[in-house]
């Protein structure tokens, strides 16, 4: 049974008025921030959000602040009408889809003689697709330790952009609970830390990875994989799965676990960006034996598509 | 007629519950963040807050995150009971004094093998008094362009600390309106920019500088001035006042205006940290003729006390 059409809100003020009216009615507000082109992973987040709240808001916004100019902002897939249909298919549906056009257009002409925008000074040369657009945005939220490793190494503006847009969305949607997928494990931990450190009144819930029937972790970017590359990319989840079983049955040497995963992905034709076994809390690399709960995180390229995946390993 | 005693709240959650109850009653919440040891400048902010809101919250919290280890955190003056009496003297009083003990103690033991805290990476060597305390705080809000000049040069962790604590306080107090003194002109502009860039649902109002009868700008740090230094320190407001009159009556050459102020303060025995004429919006230095509204900002040392002051110059 399909749910009602969600209310689509594009205006920040209208979004906040809606949330505040709900809060004053005693309703708990659940929030799922997305960049659209929804897949079953997103829908699982929505289902999870329904369990923890009375009303659910999904945002659909592709954030230029988290893409570097060399990344795939221009080709990031979108299908707004398809997304609405998918959201209606979730039991209970969603109440609001927040779909702003540009969250960095403050309606004021920027006045910045030293360049149209903040120069990303905090990151040295860190510059995102936002800077070129010139809305004078210059405030960035940074989670300085957690943002450094793994994806932060090859994508230096990514987590700065994520923490900043999530802060903006939190200030607009004002949710009680927000859901993040654990496929983006580092992102999930960074948001948790940011919420704690900045006292956002929001509970962050991480949701388990959703996989296709062949084991590939769901991602909007999977659509760009050729059938051949998609087949090859299964080496990520398959090698991670083997590593998890090995580690949980006693083969706790981090280096040989990593070597095996790197070898399997490489032999399948992938290019490994990183394969790291890190502490689940601190995300610090575990270089020797695994002696506490860790997560094995991988990023690898297949053709022009960069995929990430991970496996939590209990100990 | 003295107002009622304000309610003193020390707990974050209790503070937020109070604000949310007020909001749902349709009340506008005004907020004046302070570090205590209140003077007439603070009380003017409270009076201004009353004009724009139905209930007023004043926070009193000395923030270790905005002091470097070489600065005066340990000797920053305090007088909580005196502050309460002063707040009661304001017509209408204040409704709540938020007086937390430690806004960085998250009740969780930090787990950071690479050091007890974030390493202030965004600022290179930027380290505040917070880092040494080890609560694992690692999230910083930075307004990257506006934080660079003037006070940002000699106090590299200051504005990072201010933007971060103000974000935390905003997330705890959830005000509709917040008041900042224009004596801290750069701070006021940074908060305005941060609120815009991060979509905080808060109106920021800047309040005019309040001066003692001799012209000295009110500051909690004035208490540390010896009587002699206090007399000498009048050279700041006096030279700024002359510069303002000169500029507004046609002497618009920035360099000679600055030279005169630096000379007067130096000859009085002060040590000028900076004396800059900057655009009121962008805070960019005006090096030649003044052709638009500017503000003349000064920081100078008298003995062990660093004072700041400024004068807006219309054009």
Question: According to the model, what pLDDT value does residue A125 have?
Answer: 53
Cα atoms in the Cβ-side hemisphere of radius 13 Å centred on A162: 27
Quick one: tokens of A160? 């700065």
Asked if residue B135 is part of any domain, the answer here is: yes
For residues A114 and B310, which has the higher predicted lDDT (pLDDT)? B310
pLDDT of the residue at B114: 38
Give the residue ranges of DSSP H helices in A184-309: 185-197, 227-248, 254-267
Residues A145, A255, single domain; the answer is: no
Tell me how far apart the alpha carbons of residues A102 and B171 are, in angstroms, rounded to a whole number: 24
For A139-160, write each residue's pLDDT tens digit. 999 999 999 999 999 999 999 9
Tell me what the mean pLDDT of segment B217-235 comes to: 96
* Residue A59 predicted with pLDDT over 50: yes
pLDDT band of residue B264 (cuts 50, 70, 90) is very high
Tell me the shortest Cα–Cα distance from A218 to chain B, in angstroms. Answer: 29
B106 pLDDT more than 90: no
Residues A163 and A82 in one domain: yes
Picking from B16, B145, B198, the nearest residue to A119 by CB comes out as B145
Q: Which residues contact A231 (CB under 8 A, 6 or more apart)?
A: none
Contact at CB, A197 and B114, closer than 8 angstroms: no
Judge if B168 and B68 occupy the same domain.
yes
Domain boundary, last residue among B144, B174, B207: B207
Which of the residue ranges A95-104, A290-299, B68-77 would you say has the lowest mean pLDDT? B68-77
- Among the candidates B207, B235, B250, a domain finishes at B207
Alpha helices by DSSP H, chain B: 12-24, 40-52, 80-89, 151-154, 158-173, 185-197, 227-248, 254-267
Asked if B178 reaches chain A (Cβ–Cβ under 8 Å), the answer is no
Q: In terms of DSSP H, where are the helices of A109-184?
A: 151-154, 158-173
Query: Is A144's CB within 8 Å of B120's CB?
Result: yes
Q: What is the pLDDT of residue A162?
A: 98
Note whether B100 and B140 are within 8 A (CB).
no
Say if B163 is an interface residue toward chain A (CB within 8 Å): yes
- Give the 3-state secondary structure percentages of chain A, helix then strand then coil, rounded to 5: 40, 20, 40
CA distances from B186 to A109, B5, B190, B297 (A): 20, 33, 6, 9
Domain-embedded: residue A154: yes
Closest Cα partner for A161 from A27, A282, A277, A33? Answer: A33
Q: Which residue of B has its CA nearest to A190?
A: B139
pLDDT given at position A2:
55
Contacts of B164 in chain A (CB under 8 A): 198
Long-range CB contacts (within 8 A, 24+) of A241-246 = A241/A215, A241/A311, A243/A296, A243/A311, A243/A313, A244/A296, A244/A311, A244/A312, A244/A313
Are A165 and A60 found together in one domain? yes
- The answer to the question of residue B98 being in a domain is yes
Binary contact (A12, B164; C-beta < 8 A): no
Are residues A109 and A224 part of one domain?
no
Residue B88 placed within a domain: yes
H/E element, A300: strand A294-302
User: What pLDDT score does B13 carry?
Assistant: 97
Q: Are residues A287 and A230 in the same domain?
A: yes
Q: How confident is the model at residue B315 (pLDDT cuts 50, 70, 90)?
A: confident
Report how far apart, in Å, the C-alpha atoms of A150 and of each of A146, A197, A300, B261 are. 9, 21, 11, 51
Residue A249 covered by a domain: yes
What pLDDT sits at residue A176?
98
Which of B24, B137, B279 lies closest to A197 in CB terms?
A: B137
- Alpha-carbon gap, residue A52 to A178, rounded angstroms: 9
What residues contact residue A287 under an 8 Å CB cut-off, 6+ apart? A254, A255
Please choose, from the candidates A17, A83, A28, A25, the residue with its C-alpha nearest in 3D space to the C-alpha of residue A50: A28
Up-side HSE of residue B75: CA atoms within 13 Å toward CB? 11
CA distance to partner chain B, nearest, from residue A266 (Å): 31
Asked if the model's pLDDT at residue B237 lies above 50, the reply is yes
Residue B135 confidence class, pLDDT cut points 50, 70, 90: confident
β-pairing, B177-181 vs B305-313, is unpaired
**CA-to-CA separations, A154 to A126, A274, A301, B101, in angstroms, rounded:** 11, 9, 12, 40
Give the per-residue pLDDT at B126.
64
- Whether residues A273 and A161 share a domain: the answer is no
- Orientation angle between helical segments A40-52 and A80-89, nearest 10 degrees: 50
Q: Give me the numbers of helices (H) and strands (E) for chain A, helices first please.
A: 8, 10
Same-domain status, B155 and B46: yes
Burial class (CB in 10 A: 0-12, 13-18, 19+), B132: exposed
Phi (first) and psi of residue B240, to 5 degrees? -65, -40
Q: What are the Cα distances from residue B79, in Å, to A180, B10, B38, B74?
A: 45, 16, 8, 14
- In the prediction, which pLDDT does A104 show? 94
- Out of B207, B229, B261, a domain closes at B207
User: Mutate which of B16, B105, B144, B146 to test chain A, going by most A C-beta atoms within 10 A?
Assistant: B144
Residue A4's pLDDT band, with cuts at 50, 70 and 90, is confident
> Mean pLDDT throughout B7-11?
98
Give A261's pLDDT tier (boundaries 50, 70, 90).
very high
Is B59 inside any structural domain? yes
Measured in degrees and rounded to the nearest 5, phi and psi for residue B234 equal -65, -20
**A119, A197, A278, A291, best to mutate vs chain B, most B CBs in 10 Å:** A197
B155 sits in the region (left: phi over 0; alpha: psi -120 to 50; else beta) called: beta
Q: Any CB–CB contact under 8 A between B14 and chain A? A: no
Residue-number span of the structural domain to which B301 is assigned:
220-308
Best residue of A198, A201, A288 to probe chain B, by most B CBs closer than 10 Å: A198
Mean pLDDT of the residues in chain A:
92
What pLDDT, on the 0 to 100 scale, is given for residue A114?
38
Whether residue B284 is predicted with pLDDT greater than 70 in this model: the reply is yes
Size of interface A-B (CB pairs under 8 A): 127
The complex's ipTM works out to 0.93
Going from the C-alpha of A56 to that of each of A28, A49, A96, the distances in angstroms are 9, 7, 7
CB contact under 8 A, A145 and B114: yes
C-beta of residue A35 within 8 angstroms of C-beta of residue A62: yes
Q: Note whether B122 contacts A: Cβ–Cβ < 8 A.
A: yes
Under an 8 A CB cutoff, do B139 and A193 touch? yes
Q: Is A194 in contact with B23 (Cβ distance < 8 A)?
A: no
CB neighbour list of residue A243: distance below 8 Å, 6 or more residues apart: A257, A260, A261, A296, A311, A313
- Calculate mean pLDDT across residues B250-278: 97
pLDDT at B115: 38
What was the pLDDT predicted at A61? 98
**Is the domain of B203 the same as that of B226?**
no
CATH (domain of A305)? 3.30.1300.10
How buried is A84 (Cβ within 10 angstroms: 0-12 exposed, 13-18 middle, 19+ buried)?
A: buried
* Tens-digit pLDDT profile for residues B163-197: 999 999 999 999 999 999 999 999 999 999 999 99
Q: What is d(CA A58, CA A75) in angstroms, rounded to the nearest whole number?
A: 22
If contacts are CB pairs under 8 Å, which of residues 228-257 in chain B contact chain A? none
Helix pair angle (B254-267, B227-248), 10° resolution: 160
Does any domain span residue B2? no
Could you identify the residue written with the tokens 């003017």?
B44
Q: Are residues B118 and B157 in the same domain?
A: yes
Chain A residues touching residue B146 (CB < 8 angstroms): 138
Contacts of A146 in chain B (CB under 8 A): 138
Is B42 an active-site residue? yes
Of A5-19, A260-274, B63-77, the least confident: B63-77
Q: Is the pLDDT of residue B81 over 50?
A: yes
* Total count of domains within chain B: 2
CATH label of the domain that carries residue B186: 3.40.50.620
* Whether B197 and A139 lie within 8 Å, measured CB to CB: yes
Residue B178 maps to a domain:
yes
pLDDT-based confidence at A126, cuts 50/70/90?
low
Instruction: Looking at the structure, tell me whether residues A72 and A173 fall in a common domain.
Output: yes
Per-residue model confidence (pLDDT) at position B125: 54
* Pair (B166, B246) in one structural domain: no
If you ran DSSP here, which 8-state letter would residue A215 be given?
Answer: S
- Please give the radius of gyration of chain A, using alpha carbons only, rounded to the nearest integer: 20
pLDDT at B10 over 90: yes
């Amino acid at each position: 049974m399909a749910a009602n059409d969600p209310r689509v809100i594009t205006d920040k003020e209208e979004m906040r008025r809606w949330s505040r009216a709900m809060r004053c009615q005693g309703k708990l507000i659940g929030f799922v921030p997305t960049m659209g082109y929804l897949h079953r992973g997103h829908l699982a987040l929505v289902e999870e959000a329904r369990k923890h709240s009375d009303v659910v808001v999904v945002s659909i916004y592709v954030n230029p602040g988290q893409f570097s100019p060399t990344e795939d902002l221009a080709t990031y897939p979108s299908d707004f009408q398809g997304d609405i249909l998918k959201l209606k298919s979730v039991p209970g549906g969603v109440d609001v889809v927040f779909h702003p056009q540009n969250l960095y257009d403050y309606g004021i002409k920027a006045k910045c003689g030293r360049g149209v925008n903040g120069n990303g000074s905090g990151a040295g040369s860190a510059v995102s697709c936002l800077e070129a657009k010139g809305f004078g945005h210059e405030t960035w939220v940074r989670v300085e330790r957690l943002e450094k490793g793994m994806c932060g190494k090859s994508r230096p503006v990514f987590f700065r952009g994520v923490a900043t847009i999530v802060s903006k969305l939190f200030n607009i949607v004002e949710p009680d609970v927000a859901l993040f997928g654990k496929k983006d494990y580092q992102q999930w931990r960074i948001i948790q830390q940011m919420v704690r450190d900045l006292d956002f009144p929001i509970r962050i819930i991480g949701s388990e990875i959703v996989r296709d029937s062949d084991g590939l972790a769901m991602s909007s970017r999977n659509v760009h994989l050729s059938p051949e590359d998609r087949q090859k990319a299964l080496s990520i989840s398959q090698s991670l799965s083997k590593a998890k079983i090995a580690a949980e049955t006693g083969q706790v040497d981090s280096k040989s676990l990593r070597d095996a995963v790197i070898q399997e992905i490489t032999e399948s034709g992938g290019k490994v960006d990183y394969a790291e076994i890190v502490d689940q809390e601190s995300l610090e690399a575990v270089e020797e034996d695994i002696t506490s709960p860790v997560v094995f995180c991988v990023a690898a390229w297949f053709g022009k598509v960069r995929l990430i995946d991970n496996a939590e390993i209990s100990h």
